[in-house]
Structure 1
Amino acid sequence: MSKPQQTAKRASPFEILLDYEQRSLAHEAGRPEMVEAPGHWRGVGFRLGQRRLVASFDEVVEILPLPPVTPVPGAQPWMLGVANVRGNLLPVVDLKQFLEGERTVVHEGQRVLVVRQSGGNVAVTIDELFGQRTFNDSHRADRPESLGEGRYGHFVDRAYAQADHTWGVFSMSLLTRTPEFRQATA
């Protein structure tokens, strides 16, 4: 029997876990997905209606299933209400209704993106989550009309084409600074 195995047999489970923790903290090799490369851009891909959009990882705090929502009297129709997420009250916004005036059809597996905004985070509903998307400069494309029409034009400034789909880069930070978005009272 080797020396480490003999030592491991004498160590308590707590000591073994402590050893694992110390060794993992000492290991600092960068993961490939964390390496920033020139010309690369990464974000969270999602769908609103027929539009495929992507938001920067810097703007999305977390992705959650739609939590139970308590309506707020006197709020805009797109303001679904507030939700208690781990002891924090988050406003929950129907993003599709805010942008298009059409209510999102809530379904099992519905997801919300928790987005940073000054004064606290806000959760926005999406129709479908596609997960992480990575683009490089060679994927840059002209923004299609569908991504620039209506209110989307204010929040989508560029696009990437990849795998037969065009992804509009949606600025959540610009959305959360929009006066109408910040004023949810009817």
Structure 2
Amino acid sequence: MSESLTAFELLLQIDQRCRLLAADLPSQPARQDNWSGIGFRLGERWYVAPMGEVSEVLHEPRVTQMPGVRSWVKGVANLRGRLLPVMDLCALFGHELSPLRKQRRVLVIEHDDVFAGLMVDEVFGLQHFAQDSLEPLLMDDLDGPVSAFIQGRFQGEQHWQVFSPFALVRSSGFRDVAI
């Protein structure tokens, strides 16, 4: 390395070394064997929502309360110029929302004509499971009104129940927010 390299030549060498050492992406069949979702908690239960059913995850936004709506409707928030109705998912299913405000998150759902935020106690980020490890529901998994939106479970360190936000927003009970 006695010769002097220009900055551009040095960048080209670094690029070539990076390409040689880079790991290949997994093949298409390997990626299809995994199921991914957003893990979250409501009370003492752990849930996972399919990746394709959650648009984004937000910290608890400032909301404007609305008169004449059910108690589980927290209000509306301004999300980049769009009005986002925020629903307390715990209250909707008869549980109490965690008093720890710093942990609360809102799962943003956009499906058909519904744009809504579902407030949960805590989000645990992206969870990955083997597709073939999805188990059917057991009788002890069925817990009140939330069970209508559960599509199975994954066994890990926790029992992750598969919760479908799309099934929830299609339900008439969710759309009936007026008192």
Return the match for 2:88 from 94, 98, 110. 94
The answer to whether the Cα contact below 8 Å between 2:33 and 2:130 also exists between their aligned partners in 1 is yes
Q: Which one of the candidate residues 95, 98, 107 is aligned to 1:105?
A: 98
The 1:5–1:38 alpha-carbon spacing in structure 2 relative to 1, beyond 3 Å, is closer
Q: 1:133 aligns to what SS in structure 2?
A: strand
CA gap 1:108/1:133 in 2 versus in 1, 3 angstroms: same
CA contact (8 A) 2:103 2:121 kept: no
**Closer, same or farther: CA 39–109 of 1 in aligned 2, 3 Å:** same
Kindly provide the CA deviation profile for residues 114-167 of structure 1, in whole angstroms up to 9, marking residues without a partner as x: 01132242101111111111111453334244432211220002111012x111
Aligned-partner residue type, residue 110 of structure 1: R
CA contact (8 A) 1:61 1:116 kept: yes
Q: Which runs of 5+ in 1 are unaligned?
A: 9-28
What is the root-mean-square deviation of aligned Cα atoms in Å?
2.5
Shift of 1:37: 2.5
Q: Which segment drifts farther, 107-116 or 122-131?
A: 107-116
From the superposition, tell whether residues 110 and 6 of structure 1 become closer, same or farther in structure 2 (CA, over 3 Å): same
Match of 1:133 in 2: 127
Point out where structure 2 has 5 or more consecutive residues left out of the alignment.
Answer: 12-22
Distance 2:24 2:175 in 1: 38
Cα distance, 1:137–1:97 mapped onto 2, change above 3 Å: same
1:35 deviation in Å?
Answer: 8.1
Q: What count of residue pairs does the alignment treat as equivalent?
A: 163
Of 139, 143, 149, the residue aligned with 2:143 is 149
What amino acid is the match of 1:102?
H
> Which residue is 1:17 aligned to?
none
Assess if the C-alpha contact under 8 Å between 2:88 and 2:118 holds in 1.
Answer: yes
Selected match of 2:64 from 56, 64, 70:
70
3-state SS of the aligned residue for 2:85? strand
- Shift of the alpha carbon at 1:66? 0.5
Show the counterpart of 2:15. none
